[in-house]
Amino acid sequence: MASSLESLNRWVEEVARLTEPAEIHWCNGSDGEYRLLTEKMLASGDLHALNPDTHPGCTLHRSNPTDVARVEHLTYICTRNRDDAGPNNHWMAPAEAHAKVDHLFAGCMRGRTMYVVPYCMGPIDSPISRCGVEITDSPYVVANMRIMTRMGAAALSRIERDGGFVKGLHSIGELDPDRRFIMHFPEELSIKSIGSGYGGNALLGKKCHALRIGSWQARSEGWLAEHMLIVGIENPQGEIRYVAAAFPSACGKTNLAMLIPPESYRKAGWKVWTVGDDICWMKPGADGRLWAINPEAGYFGVAPGTDTTTNPNALDMIQHDTIYTNVGVTADNQPWWEGLSEGRPATDWQGRDYDPANGPAAHPNARFTVSARQCPSWSEHAEAAQGVPISAIIFGGRRPSLVPLVFEAKDWTHGVLVGAAMGSETTAAATGAVGVLRRDSMAMKPFCGYNFADYFSHWLSFDKPGAKLPKIFHVNWFRKNAEGRFLWPGFGENLRVLEWILGRCAGSAGARETPIGFVPDAGDLNLDELDLPSVAKRELLAVDAKAWRGEIAAIGEYLDGFGERMPERLKREQRHIADALEMAPLATARAASG
């Protein structure tokens, strides 16, 4: 039987015959290689140097204006059986997909260097980690993969030990939106992406491997690959408890991962440690608990809106050795984006003189790529081979009404339903329609590599004898009053909610039982030194049984949309809550004023 390295060599030769590169470079991940790669891109104009005095080691990349975000409508899951991909994915038959994309790959690397990038998602020695190899003709992709993964010689050695790897083939092609596809072949553990240089489409270790292919691997191997942050909360006694949390976009995920405690909490000795801001792989340990790693080694974060008031840790970490993508630039060559309190743009993200008539200086999806170790709140346990034990799983969405600030699921099955039902309501500014609910189960709608019904069944399968599963919670930082103002201050104050969550895990925090789960009364939360009116406390923690009847009915319709594969256990849980809401007296289902 051929070794994994022999298999890799054969694959590289096959790709070279198809794509016809001018030369092949096997990446070793060294500092010298990265330096030479950067110098090459600066010389070619793929990168632009930023102010070395204010932002040492920082560079700027400008994308083709047609290539600035993930392309969900061109992203396919290619399984032999269409139902295995599910209604939550675009599907194409594998043979058809290979033929369509290989036609575009033919000769696409002529005159270019083909880079072979061995990488490991997760700490090199972690049993939870998995490896892959990306072949690409983009030096920008190589530079980003070096920051975002454990890339190079060590990963190649692990591939030899493991005996297998995920194959990822990428080319920027012609950067033509009509010749752009991101194809995933879960049964083959392979990915083919062409026509885009944007991170989410081109850094194949990220969403493509770590979530779409990773979720398929996780189901077959008995673990979970999730779109979740991992954060450690250290109390004044020095005990650290870890939480994994899933939120749809624009719900404060990175801010929570790098949360800075309120002053009173800092004085008391509370600390927050960042393990990961985007992806979480969880596996049951010998002790029955779920142990988690962050498979990434860096952050590929959204720049606009990042400032001292919103995320000072993120702003601090990107002052040096960072690749910026599609931000504006000041007259003295510093990166700039909307939401930044200092400086003013001279040049926009396309390299034009800044003119507000052309739109924002930075593209709304402008990014920074930076090593995780540069984050002031980075946890050394992010490199722990065994991972960190998860005490609580949190789901959340942007819901201006109905959903209370926080509630706890009654058990694992109820918690899976809470995750399956999560979503956010749109605003007029974003879509022209107010209050349209978009469900995004576990924040995995764009990223689950198989049928959501099977995915929910997989989640349910972890509830077995001997398991010591995390408690599951739902939070909503975005509840508004009748005047449209947020009731909860958010940001660092969210630690008050996390304290209650961890108190519930320890059995020390109070709550009242409602049909939707356990909800704190105002007196169960530490609201000291927080100027929160009694009416706000009431509204934040209210459970309106009448309104929830409509919500739970809509959840039932959503589950039914996935057909006969939907686990009956989840539908039964939905009906149980619907029955409880029908019997609930409307007046007593409301929160005490505290």
Span 512-527, pLDDT tens digits: 999 999 999 999 999 9
Percentage of the chain modeled with pLDDT above 70:
96
DSSP letter for 354, please: P
Question: What confidence category does residue 250 fall into, taking pLDDT thresholds of 50, 70 and 90?
Answer: confident
In sequence order, the 6+-apart residues with CB closer than 8 A to the CB of 372 are 274, 276, 294, 296, 297, 298, 299, 378, 382
Question: What confidence category does residue 428 fall into, taking pLDDT thresholds of 50, 70 and 90?
Answer: very low
pLDDT at 48 over 60: yes
* 53-65 mean pLDDT: 97
Reduce the secondary structure of 179-246 to three states and give it as a string: HCEEEEEHHHCEEEEECCCCHHHHCCHHHHHHHHHHHHHHHHHCCEEECCEEEEEECCCCCEEEEEEE
From CA 419, how far away is CA 412, in angstroms rounded? Answer: 10
Inter-residue contact 170 to 134 (CB < 8 Å): yes
Degrees (nearest 5) of the Cα angle 337, 343, 344?
70
Span 361-419, pLDDT tens digits: 999 999 999 999 999 999 999 999 999 999 999 999 999 999 999 999 999 999 999 99
* 149-159 mean pLDDT: 97
Write down the pLDDT at residue 465. Answer: 95
Encode burial over 104-134: b for 16+ CB neighbours within 10 A, e otherwise.
Answer: bbeebbeebbbbbbbbbbbbeebebbbbbbb
H/E stretch holding 313? helix 312-317
pLDDT at 430 over 50: no
Span 267-297, pLDDT tens digits: 999 999 999 999 999 999 999 999 999 999 9
Write down the pLDDT at residue 46. Answer: 97
Write down the pLDDT at residue 436. Answer: 83
Span 470-487, pLDDT tens digits: 999 999 999 999 999 999
* 555-576 mean pLDDT: 98
Write down the pLDDT at residue 508. Answer: 97
Reduce the secondary structure of 102-132 to three states and give it as a string: HHHHCCCCCCCEEEEEEEEECCCCCCCCEEE
Retrieve residue 216's tokens: 């398929």
Q: What domains sit in the chain, N to C, each tagged with a CATH number?
A: 4-47+70-222 (3.40.449.10), 229-296+383-583 (3.90.228.20), 298-374 (2.170.8.10)
Residue with the bigger pLDDT between 586 and 336: it is 336
Inter-residue contact 398 to 249 (CB < 8 Å): no
Q: What is the mean pLDDT of the chain?
A: 95
Write down the pLDDT at residue 425. Answer: 84
Q: Which of the residues are catalytic?
A: 251
pLDDT at 577 over 50: yes
Question: What confidence category does residue 591 fall into, taking pLDDT thresholds of 50, 70 and 90?
Answer: very low
Retrieve residue 592's tokens: 């005490």
> What is the rounded end-to-end Cα distance, in angstroms, of the chain?
69
Percentage of the chain modeled with pLDDT above 90:
93
Write down the pLDDT at residue 431. Answer: 39
Inter-residue contact 483 to 539 (CB < 8 Å): no
DSSP letter for 366, please: -
Rg over CA atoms, the chain: 24
In sequence order, the 6+-apart residues with CB closer than 8 A to the CB of 114 are 15, 16, 19, 21, 23, 24, 25, 135, 136, 137
From CA 3, how far away is CA 157, in angstroms rounded? Answer: 12
Which amino acid appears at position 351 of this protein? G
pLDDT at 589 over 60: no
Write down the pLDDT at residue 69. Answer: 87
Closest CA to 164 of 206, 226, 213: 213
Span 319-334, pLDDT tens digits: 999 999 999 999 999 9
Write down the pLDDT at residue 587. Answer: 43
Span 431-473, pLDDT tens digits: 346 568 999 999 999 999 999 999 999 999 999 999 999 999 9
Write down the pLDDT at residue 172. Answer: 97
From CA 519, how far away is CA 537, in angstroms rounded? Answer: 12
* Torsion over CA: 186, 192, 196, 202 (sign): positive
DSSP letter for 353, please: B
DSSP string, 403-440: S-SEEE-SSHHHHHHHHHH-EEE--HHHHS-TT-EEE-
Inter-residue contact 165 to 159 (CB < 8 Å): yes
* 81-89 mean pLDDT: 98
pLDDT at 505 over 90: yes
pLDDT at 174 over 80: yes
Which amino acid appears at position 46 of this protein? D
pLDDT at 154 over 70: yes
Write down the pLDDT at residue 70. Answer: 87
* Torsion over CA: 365, 366, 371, 375 (sign): negative
In sequence order, the 6+-apart residues with CB closer than 8 A to the CB of 239 are none
* 123-128 mean pLDDT: 98
Inter-residue contact 90 to 73 (CB < 8 Å): yes
pLDDT at 216 over 50: yes
Write down the pLDDT at residue 2. Answer: 67
